[in-house]
Chain A
Amino acid sequence: MEKKQKEYLFKVLVIGDLGVGKTSIIKRYVHQIFSQHYRATIGVDFALKVLHWEEDTIIRLQLWDIAGQERFGNMTRVYYREAVGAFIVFDVSRASTFEAVSKWKNDLDSKVRLQNGNPVPAILLANKCDQTKEGLSNTLPKMDQYCKENGFIAWFETSAKDNIHIEESARVLVENILNAEGDDLAPADPDIITSQQLSLQNNNASCSACTK
């Protein structure tokens, strides 16, 4: 049987309060680097990661790094269009950034939907897990519950600094996007080649390998 190369283009948003490490996560994932000295993102930044997903499948992941300051919200709205997945990031060393997560999730769901009206798959990233956790000792054990209640498909403790769970979280998000794609429910983007149902293993969503 002749094998046909499949190519996908997925637009993924990375959002969350300022200083939680959105830019760091993207730089780690795309360029395998980390610096303490990334500047505040003003407006919107962009990076592309090409994944050789399976032998015959290439995925181009567009990662849109959205500024964390609230006042940019209205301006960056246009960049939410046609997104098919999202990471919402908070900083485990600052409890206030976790409190803002539901606000970011609502914001996401109000600005973009899949074609069938469902929310886009979103993963919650508890970033900076290499640092001391602040005021979240009651919350983190209940994260699975929190994700269920707030419509996240999964959560990960991540560290862009120590490269913990960045790849894994991206993999889970892409699997979910592909599943949605397989259901033929993704946005009608001419760049996206819709494929037949992909039988992907259901992933084990939550994890807590980042023990501290």
Chain B
Amino acid sequence: MPQPESKKKKKLVAIHQALNVDPVDVETLRQSAISEGGLLTDEIRRKVWPKLLNVNVYKLPPKPGKDIREGHKDYNQVLMDVQRSLRRFPQGMSSEERGVLQEQLINVILYVLQRNLQLHYYQGYHDIVVTFLLVVGERMAIALMEILSSHHLRDFMDPTMDSTKHILNYLMPILQRVNPQLHDFLQRAEVGTIFALSWLITWYGHVLSKFRHTVRLYDFFLASHPLMPVYVAAAIVLHREEEVMKCDCDMASVHQLLSKIPQDLPYETLIIKAEELFSHHPPPELAKQAALQLRKSIAISTFQDFQVATSRQRPDAVLREQFKEKPCLPPADPAPPVGANQLVKMAVWGLTATLGAAALAVVNTAVEWAPEFVFQLFP
């Protein structure tokens, strides 16, 4: 449903203000990403998504070189998946342009995997990366994917899918609490939860045909708990209750019905519903159920710390100063392994804390570095 212009303008102003305080007002940005319409434009997404993930936009990873592909164990598989992902690129895009983006897509995936050896590629990962690539570009996509892969998507990137199965196991208990009749029907059909697998591990990128719907959901997920895609899955199944109950009660019929997502779903309503399900049936409540006690999810267990860290991000002024202090760092420098990188970060953090007061004085000039955004708001 289209939003009234005035409401939209108000939201634009709120986002702008939240971005222009230093450090940014993450809570307002989160609320904006969740509430009706999400972050509204890709222009805004480029600014807000990094903030939602606590990414330092002044220190993006270098552009990966061609040599990233040599001897990479996942290269062939990634290549095949990317070649088969034409539908994820905008219709009407020239094949040359798409070709360039597909090359970048391969590079981003391989780069993140190479730098994080604990992460394992899965089919569907490319569906997430392409979404970010199309919105924020190659280097920023790497930065966002490094964080996401180690947090929200971490369980999917284990050597096996056991943890992913565990995450999917949250779906049925939600349905059971909200609609026991529907739940029993699904149990009788023995449909399982694999129909929602591609929804979960691609954040719906694999199954939605309209890009604007995909990025709208990404706004929501980037601002939410890692289990939120499962709550959205529950909201979708509940929304389709009538259709499901009319279906033959067997695995094949129900699997087929549910795995084909209707393209005209009321996404804003479903997001509200998912939020409501999340607050009424939070993960710890669901985890009391036996099937969910067996395993520990890295995404869930690290989320609270992640969220706290994101709320306390360093001011941009500080980040920019650091960037200026080290102009000699060549961008093509091979990135250090993550462990070492974190140590360096901590050392720099300690150092800059003492410089904080001076650096904060720069806050008021924050408007200077985002003029095109400001002009867009107040032409």
A interface list, Cβ under 8 A from B: 11, 18-19, 37-46, 48, 62, 67, 69, 71-72, 74-76, 78-79, 191
Q: 6 smallest A-B Cβ distances: which pairs?
A: A42-B198, A43-B197, A19-B80, A43-B194, A69-B123, A40-B123
Q: Which of A44, A45, A74, A76 contacts B162 (CB 8 A)?
A: A74
The CA-CA distance from A19 to B126 in the complex, in Å, is: 15
Q: Is the CB of B85 within 8 A of A76?
A: no
Residues of B within 8 A of A19 (CB): 80, 84
Least Cβ–Cβ distance between A77 and chain B, in angstroms: 10
The CA-CA distance from A75 to B195 in the complex, in Å, is: 11
The CA-CA distance from A64 to B15 in the complex, in Å, is: 47
The CA-CA distance from A126 to B85 in the complex, in Å, is: 24
Q: Is the CB of A39 within 8 A of B85?
A: yes
Given contacts A40-B80, A40-B81, A75-B165, 5 further A-B contacts (CB under 8 A): A39-B206, A41-B123, A42-B201, A43-B195, A71-B120
B377: CB under 8 A from chain A?
A: no
The CA-CA distance from A75 to B126 in the complex, in Å, is: 20
Q: In the complex, how many residues of chain B place their beta carbon closer than 8 angstroms to a beta carbon of chain A?
A: 31
Least Cβ–Cβ distance between B158 and chain A, in angstroms: 9
Q: Is the CB of A18 within 8 A of B123?
A: yes
Could you mark each residue 149-168 of chain B with 1 if its beta carbon is under 8 Å from any beta carbon of chain A, else 0? 00000000001111011000
**Which residues in chain B, 105-146, are within 8 Å of chain A measured between CB atoms?**
120, 122-124, 126
Given A18-B123, A39-B87, A40-B123: A74 and B160 interface contact (C-beta under 8 Å): yes
Residues of B within 8 A of A37 (CB): 84, 86-87
Q: Is the CB of A75 within 8 A of B259?
A: no
Show 24 A/B contacts (Cβ-Cβ < 8 Å), sorted by A.
A18-B80, A39-B84, A39-B87, A40-B80, A40-B85, A40-B123, A40-B124, A42-B123, A42-B198, A43-B194, A43-B197, A43-B198, A46-B256, A48-B252, A69-B77, A69-B123, A71-B120, A75-B164, A75-B165, A75-B194, A75-B197, A78-B192, A78-B194, A191-B250
Residues of B within 8 A of A40 (CB): 80-81, 84-85, 123-124, 126
B20: CB under 8 A from chain A?
A: no
Least Cβ–Cβ distance between A38 and chain B, in angstroms: 7
The CA-CA distance from A18 to B124 in the complex, in Å, is: 13
Least Cβ–Cβ distance between B247 and chain A, in angstroms: 13
The CA-CA distance from A44 to B198 in the complex, in Å, is: 9
**Which residues in chain B, 249-267, are within 8 Å of chain A measured between CB atoms?**
250, 252, 255-256, 259
Least Cβ–Cβ distance between A204 and chain B, in angstroms: 32
**Which residues in chain B, 71-92, are within 8 Å of chain A measured between CB atoms?**
77, 80-81, 84-87
Could you mark each residue 186-210 of chain B with 1 if its beta carbon is under 8 Å from any beta carbon of chain A, else 0? 0000001011011001100010000
Q: Is the CB of A75 within 8 A of B84?
A: no
Q: Which of B123, B124, B255 contacts A44 (CB 8 A)?
A: B255
Residues of A within 8 A of B81 (CB): 18, 40
Q: Which of B77, B124, B126, B255 contacts A46 (CB 8 A)?
A: B255
Could you mark each residue 50-90 of chain B with 1 if its beta carbon is under 8 Å from any beta carbon of chain A, else 0? 00000000000000000000000000010011001111000
Least Cβ–Cβ distance between B259 and chain A, in angstroms: 7
The CA-CA distance from A45 to B207 in the complex, in Å, is: 12
Residues of B within 8 A of A41 (CB): 123
Instruction: Give the most central of A37, A42, A71, A76: most B CB within 10 Å.
Output: A42
Q: Is the CB of A42 within 8 A of B85?
A: no
Q: Is the CB of A69 within 8 A of B198?
A: no
Residues of B within 8 A of A67 (CB): 123
The CA-CA distance from A44 to B168 in the complex, in Å, is: 15
Least Cβ–Cβ distance between B120 and chain A, in angstroms: 7
Given A46-B259, A62-B252, A78-B192: A69 and B165 interface contact (C-beta under 8 Å): no
Instruction: Give the most central of A18, A62, A71: most B CB within 10 Å.
Output: A71
Q: Is the CB of B252 within 8 A of A18?
A: no
The chain A residue with its CB closest to the CB of B86 is A37
Least Cβ–Cβ distance between A154 and chain B, in angstroms: 26
The CA-CA distance from A11 to B252 in the complex, in Å, is: 10
Given A18-B77, A75-B194: A42 and B124 interface contact (C-beta under 8 Å): yes
The chain B residue with its CB closest to the CB of A45 is B259
Residues of B within 8 A of A48 (CB): 252, 256
Residues of B within 8 A of A62 (CB): 252
Given A19-B80, A39-B87, A74-B161: A69 and B122 interface contact (C-beta under 8 Å): yes
Least Cβ–Cβ distance between B130 and chain A, in angstroms: 11
Residues of B within 8 A of A72 (CB): 123, 161
Residues of B within 8 A of A78 (CB): 192, 194
Residues of B within 8 A of A38 (CB): 84
The CA-CA distance from A41 to B122 in the complex, in Å, is: 11
Instruction: Give the most central of A39, A41, A69: most B CB within 10 Å.
Output: A39
The CA-CA distance from A78 to B194 in the complex, in Å, is: 10
Residues of A within 8 A of B77 (CB): 18, 69
Q: Is the CB of B256 within 8 A of A42?
A: no
Least Cβ–Cβ distance between B172 and chain A, in angstroms: 14
Residues of A within 8 A of B84 (CB): 19, 37-40
Q: Is the CB of B202 within 8 A of A75?
A: no
The chain A residue with its CB closest to the CB of B164 is A75
The CA-CA distance from A45 to B258 in the complex, in Å, is: 11
The CA-CA distance from A64 to B120 in the complex, in Å, is: 26
The CA-CA distance from A19 to B160 in the complex, in Å, is: 20
The CA-CA distance from A72 to B77 in the complex, in Å, is: 14
Least Cβ–Cβ distance between B327 and chain A, in angstroms: 42
